[in-house]
Amino acid sequence: MKRENAADSTVLSTVILASALIVIVGAAYVAANNAINYQVENAEFEQAQNVLVSLAKVIKNVMLNPHSSGYVRSSFWKTIPQFEETSGNLTLTISDSGKNWTYNVGQNIIKIKGGYTIGVLTPRNLLGDGSLLFTDPSGSLARVRVFQSNGAWVSLDYSRVRCVYIGSSDYYNSTIDDYESLNIVEITLINLTFGTFEPESQVLITAENLGMNAEQPIKASNNTFVQVRLSTGEYTDPIDLADLISRQGGNPGKPILINLVIVDTECSMLKGV
Averaged over 245-273, what is the pLDDT?
Answer: 92
Q: What is the pLDDT of residues 133-191, one digit of tens each?
A: 999 999 999 999 999 999 999 999 999 999 999 999 998 787 777 788 999 999 999 99
User: What share of residues in the chain are helix, strand, coil (percent, to 5)?
Assistant: 25, 45, 30
Give me the residue spans of the domains in the chain.
Answer: 3-271
How high does pLDDT run on average in the chain? 87
Q: What is the pLDDT of residues 193-237, one digit of tens each?
A: 999 999 988 999 999 999 988 777 888 998 999 999 999 999 999
**pTM summary value:** 0.84
Q: Please check the confidence at residue 30 and state whether its pLDDT lies above 50.
A: no
DSSP secondary structure letters along 28-86:
HHHHHHHHHHHHHHHHHHHHHHHHHHHHHHHHHHHTTSTT-EEEEEEE-SS-EEEEE--
Of all residues in the chain, the percent with pLDDT exceeding 90 is 68
Q: Please check the confidence at residue 9 and state whether its pLDDT lies above 90.
A: no
